[in-house]
Amino acid sequence: DAFVLPSLWEGMSNALLEAMAMALPVAATRVDGNLDLVRDGETGILVERGSAEALAEAIACLADDPARARRMGRAGRDRVEREFSLDNTIRAYLRLYEELLAEKQVGTCNSLQYTNQGESGGTAQRPFPTSMSVHGCRRERPPWRSER
């Protein structure tokens, strides 16, 4: 058994992740999201998009060498468990949030509040806050947030 994904474009494919989690070796096209998931020659075989001949050759390669296909499938499952499990994803997000908060931390904090300052300096309704108070620490608009 193998999983074949002949995409012309692909984001982070849940189908590909699920196939790898089921220890299936992968034959897929070398496009955006697939490049992030499949390690060519280790967890599957990547081929140029649009090349039916190359894809057929990859499928035949997996069929002709079942031991190699099983090794690739196990390696894919190990990678998904190690790098893409729900627990690891949650931990990665929490680390990111903690790092971002640590960079912005100014003092003891205990609330979240947005403030919009109007043109005249008063409070006005705007789509994005000009500053915010996180846990009592005043913050100016983050540099990545721009007016619309």
Residue 47 in this model has a pLDDT that exceeds 70: yes
Segment 121-142 shows an average pLDDT of: 45
Q: How far, in Å, CA of 123 to CA of 55, rounded?
A: 60
Q: How far, in Å, CA of 28 to CA of 62, rounded?
A: 12
Closest CA to 44 of 53, 65, 52: 65
Residue 90: band (very low, low, confident or very high) from pLDDT cuts 50, 70, 90: confident
Q: How far, in Å, CA of 16 to CA of 46, rounded?
A: 12
Residue 92 in this model has a pLDDT that exceeds 60: yes
Contact residues for 141 (Cβ-Cβ < 8 A; gap 6+): 128, 129, 130, 131, 132
Residue 111 in this model has a pLDDT that exceeds 80: no
Of 3-12, 60-69, 80-89, 104-113, the range with the lowest mean pLDDT is: 104-113
Q: How far, in Å, CA of 99 to CA of 93, rounded?
A: 10
Residue 109 in this model has a pLDDT that exceeds 80: no
Q: Backbone phi, then psi, for 19, in 5-degree steps?
A: -65, -45
Structure tokens at 89: 């994803």
Contact residues for 143 (Cβ-Cβ < 8 A; gap 6+): none
Q: DSSP secondary-structure letter at 136?
A: T
Give pLDDT, residue 95: 85
Q: Coil, helix or strand for 114?
A: strand
